[in-house]
Chain A
Amino acid sequence: MTLESDNAAPPGDEAECGRLRHELRSRQQEAEVNGQQMQRIFDYILRLQDLIPGAMFVVSASGAVQRVNRAATDLLGRSTEALLSVPLAEVLPRAGELLQALTQAPAAGTIRRDAELVSVSGERIPVMLSATVQAGEGDGPPTVVLIAMDMREQRRLEVELRHAQKLESIGQLAAGIAHEINTPMQFIGDNLRFVQDSVKDVLQLARQLPPAADVDVAFLETRLPRALQRGLEGVQRVSRIVEALKTFAHPRTEAEWVDLNELIDKTLVVSANAVKYVADVQCEFQSLPLVECGRGDISQVILNLVTNAAHAIEDSLTEQHRRGHIVLRTRLAEGGDAVEVEVEDDGPGVPAAIIHRIYDPFFTTKAVGRGTGQGLSICRSIVVDRHHGRLWHSAVSPQGSRFHFTLPLKAQREVPRD
């Protein structure tokens, strides 16, 4: 049989063509359906990717970012495009080491470790990182999948817990030494009062005696009573300190009705050491209603703000400017539904460049050993989260800074004071 022209195809072949065309069409349809299905699956995987409760990065062995999920863009504050255009090391310091370890020994499987990611604002975010090598797409080279869980909240809670434990042990220590200190204070005070009273009689007798060469009765007459008075004031001061320490490390967890002005006075006794060499402290208190709050908590906030103020001043002291000023003010907030406390210093103020980061946990400008960067973060957690108050900062002209916080009086209206 010879093959002739196309248009002279035998009828049997035509039938075959029709069948093939039909087959082709159905294959095409099938492929289309498969394609759609593939697309759906792909979309699904992409969506899954965004549902992972951690920031995901797919990177090449050399550290080129190939894919990120939404958690990654949200966490770092950078767009997908921005993330795909930078090497991993830009957002994950020392990424090279990690990738090397993984790609050289892929049998190691998954590596988990604590790490830090760097956000667009420069914040270092503590994360729990897991990194796994996966086979490349098609014949492509293997890639590394990194998943980073945000650990900020966890770290914050850990810090708070440690802090609470520290306070608790201070409280126990304070209660223990209070007894040991108060007992001698009792007899020191009693003896001083006794001497104070007896000195009057003794001096009266001395006046009637002939003058002795070495005895300056006039001096004794003025100074002895004063010396004893100072001694008694010292006793008062020591017992005030013990009392304040006890208040400060108050183990009571429940809210109490607190006189904020008195609480600030007591806290200043505890913080005297941090302040007295660098600044004069001035209190401008308005009379306030009692506020329902955690005594130890608020004492902590005041201590942190005052210590920060003292440190700021200390750093700015010069030959001309030998001492700074710290002013604490209390008032009923505008509207009368909250009390406001203000801590003002005349230090160098907070630089504009870091103002948005001062409440971040672990952010500090202080030297190692002087500040842990937890102070303002703890203040915010206490005031805003636990007491539903506000904490903010304002600049002072010509120089200095002022921190304010408010505590709501909401419960105050339940029961009028009788």
Chain B
Amino acid sequence: MIDVLFVDDDPDVLEGLQNRLHPLRQQLRGRFADSGEAALQALSERCPDVVVTDMRMPGMDGAALLRTVRQRYPQTVRIILSGETGTQGFLSAISSAHQVLAKPCDVKDLQGSIEETLALQRALHNPDLMALLGRVQRLPAPPRITQQLNALLLQPDVGLSAVADVIRADPALAARVLQLVNSAYFTRGYAVDSIVDAVRVLGLDLLRGVVLAAELYADFAGRPHLAPTVQQIHDLALAVVQRVERLAGSAAERPLLATAAMVQDVGLLALLGSEVGRECDADGELDFGLVSAYLLSLWGLPYAVVRTVAWARQPARYGQVGLTPSSRLHLATVLALRDRAGAATLPWAVEPALDHAWAHQAFAPGQLASWLAAQDARHG
């Protein structure tokens, strides 16, 4: 049962939603508030799994409400359901929401993605971690990359392709544009899993707006010591993308795998420098694939990307048999890490060793070594 709080100043909209939930009452339990203030009251009585709010309301608007929710109830999924269409409205909406949906939409479509988010939440079963991840809006990118991107966007005649090249090569930027583009605001519900397509759909004007509003990436104010680690994660992602493109089962699978490889460490980026991250790592139990997947699912990325990332660290544990997208990503990561052996190691135990349980089942004894050698030969 998903607990949802709907907020809209239009009583007709609330009544409509209430009616709509009636046939879905086995899966969704709704509460309704007609203003931001009423919503905060309802939240203080019981914290829901999800808040779905209108944007434009008298008094406290949707963005202001979600800023408070982010502060007080960070583990709650924050969604804006707006009838507005302007870029400006969108920019203020994404500054505090996980996802932005466009009216009209059927809330039943929300059910699947929310269930998945909540399942990942349960799998991670760590309230402190949930709270931390829930507050994250943007991730850090290497300063060299963000300077390059800003300089590009300042050029009046820059091509979209040049901008796409920078964004698709960085985990933080790529995850953010995928989040933006997969809000129903732009695509009305069809999933975009290619980073280049995401950049193309958003267009330069909007990207400039997002960068100007400081909404595309997080800066390092006060934490410059993290920059080298962020650069390492960036470099590793590029190496894994190169590896995984050669491992793709089909041409059709390649964009999905390239995207999953690029964003699979966003959880790590989110936890950098945090106490929670260190603690979680100390007990060695934390699956960073799940952490990333949780963040990506909060942000409304396509299921296929979320699942591929979620199961890639320990494919056998999540029932991955043989060469699936997740296990291909797993192998690509293992190979990329082996390639860079000797380079400085990433913080904590995030470097996945080969999942032997999966390998034993997927390959006959001794076969994996020759298969890997063959991959190396192709790679080299």
Check if A411 sits within 8 Å of B84, measured CB to CB. Answer: no
Check if B85 sits within 8 Å of A179, measured CB to CB. Answer: yes
Which of B19, B83, B84, B205 is in CB contact (< 8 Å) with A190?
B19
**Would you call A178 an interface residue if the criterion is a C-beta within 8 Å of the partner chain's C-beta atoms?**
yes
- Output the least CB separation between A34 and chain B (Å): 59
Check if A254 sits within 8 Å of B106, measured CB to CB. Answer: no
0/1 interface trace, chain B 161-205, chain A, CB 8 Å (1 if under): 110110010000000000000000000100000111100110111
Q: How far is the CA of A189 from the CA of B23 in the complex (A)?
A: 14
Point out the residues of chain B lying under 8 angstroms from A179, CB to CB: 56, 83-85
0/1 interface trace, chain B 286-328, chain A, CB 8 Å (1 if under): 0000000000000000000000000000000000000000000
Check if B85 sits within 8 Å of A235, measured CB to CB. Answer: no
A178-B85, A194-B22, A252-B205 known; A418-B254 Cβ under 8 A: yes
**Would you call A323 an interface residue if the criterion is a C-beta within 8 Å of the partner chain's C-beta atoms?**
no
- Output the least CB separation between A285 and chain B (Å): 17
0/1 interface trace, chain A 197-238, chain B, CB 8 Å (1 if under): 110000000000000000000000000000000000001000
Point out the residues of chain A lying under 8 angstroms from B103, CB to CB: 182-183, 185-186
- Output the least CB separation between A193 and chain B (Å): 5
**Would you call A160 an interface residue if the criterion is a C-beta within 8 Å of the partner chain's C-beta atoms?**
no
Point out the residues of chain A lying under 8 angstroms from B16, CB to CB: 186-191, 194
Point out the residues of chain B lying under 8 angstroms from A414, CB to CB: 159, 161-162
**Would you call B104 an interface residue if the criterion is a C-beta within 8 Å of the partner chain's C-beta atoms?**
yes
Check if A418 sits within 8 Å of B22, measured CB to CB. Answer: no
**Would you call B86 an interface residue if the criterion is a C-beta within 8 Å of the partner chain's C-beta atoms?**
yes
Check if A257 sits within 8 Å of B201, measured CB to CB. Answer: yes
Point out the residues of chain B lying under 8 angstroms from A418, CB to CB: 168, 194-196, 254-255, 258
Point out the residues of chain A lying under 8 angstroms from B194, CB to CB: 417-418
A175-B86, A182-B102, A411-B161 known; A417-B22 Cβ under 8 A: no
Q: How far is the CA of A65 from the CA of B160 in the complex (A)?
A: 57
Considering residues B102, B160, B194, B254, which has the most beta carbons from chain A within 10 angstroms of its beta carbon?
A: B160
Identify the stretch in B7-15, B61-69, B111-119, B135-143 within 8 Å (CB) of chain A at 4 or more residues: B7-15
A182-B104, A243-B188 known; A415-B165 Cβ under 8 A: yes
Considering residues A186, A194, A257, which has the most beta carbons from chain B within 10 angstroms of its beta carbon?
A: A186
Check if A194 sits within 8 Å of B258, measured CB to CB. Answer: no
**Would you call A49 an interface residue if the criterion is a C-beta within 8 Å of the partner chain's C-beta atoms?**
no
Closest to B14 in A: A187
Check if B20 sits within 8 Å of A190, measured CB to CB. Answer: yes
Residues of B52-80 at the interface with A, using a CB-CB cut-off of 8 Å, are: 56
Q: What number of B residues sit within 8 Å (CB to CB) of A?
A: 43
Chain B residues touching A, majority SS:
helix
A186-B13, A186-B105, A243-B188 known; A178-B83 Cβ under 8 A: yes
Check if A417 sits within 8 Å of B12, measured CB to CB. Answer: no
0/1 interface trace, chain A 358-388, chain B, CB 8 Å (1 if under): 0000000000000000000000000000000
Considering residues A179, A180, A184, A187, which has the most beta carbons from chain B within 10 angstroms of its beta carbon?
A: A187
Considering residues B19, B84, B197, B205, which has the most beta carbons from chain A within 10 angstroms of its beta carbon?
A: B19
Point out the residues of chain A lying under 8 angstroms from B56, CB to CB: 179
A183-B10, A414-B159 known; A194-B85 Cβ under 8 A: no
Q: How far is the CA of A181 from the CA of B84 in the complex (A)?
A: 10
Residues of B237-270 at the interface with A, using a CB-CB cut-off of 8 Å, are: 254-255, 258
**Would you call B17 an interface residue if the criterion is a C-beta within 8 Å of the partner chain's C-beta atoms?**
yes
- Output the least CB separation between A346 and chain B (Å): 34
Check if B161 sits within 8 Å of A193, measured CB to CB. Answer: no
A235-B104, A239-B104, A414-B161 known; A254-B15 Cβ under 8 A: no
Check if A185 sits within 8 Å of B104, measured CB to CB. Answer: yes
Q: How far is the CA of A246 from the CA of B161 in the complex (A)?
A: 25
**Would you call A290 an interface residue if the criterion is a C-beta within 8 Å of the partner chain's C-beta atoms?**
yes
Point out the residues of chain A lying under 8 angstroms from B200, CB to CB: 256-257, 290
Q: How far is the CA of A55 from the CA of B322 in the complex (A)?
A: 81
The list of the 4 closest CB pairs from A to B, nearest first, reads: A187-B16, A257-B200, A190-B16, A182-B83
Name 10 A/B residue pairs within 8 A (Cβ), A-sorted.
A178-B84, A180-B83, A183-B10, A187-B15, A193-B19, A193-B20, A254-B203, A411-B159, A417-B196, A418-B168
With contacts A189-B104, A235-B104, A418-B254 known, what are 19 further pairs, Cβ within 8 A?
A: A175-B84, A175-B85, A182-B103, A187-B15, A190-B13, A191-B15, A191-B19, A198-B23, A252-B205, A253-B205, A254-B203, A254-B204, A254-B205, A256-B200, A256-B204, A257-B197, A415-B164, A415-B196, A418-B258
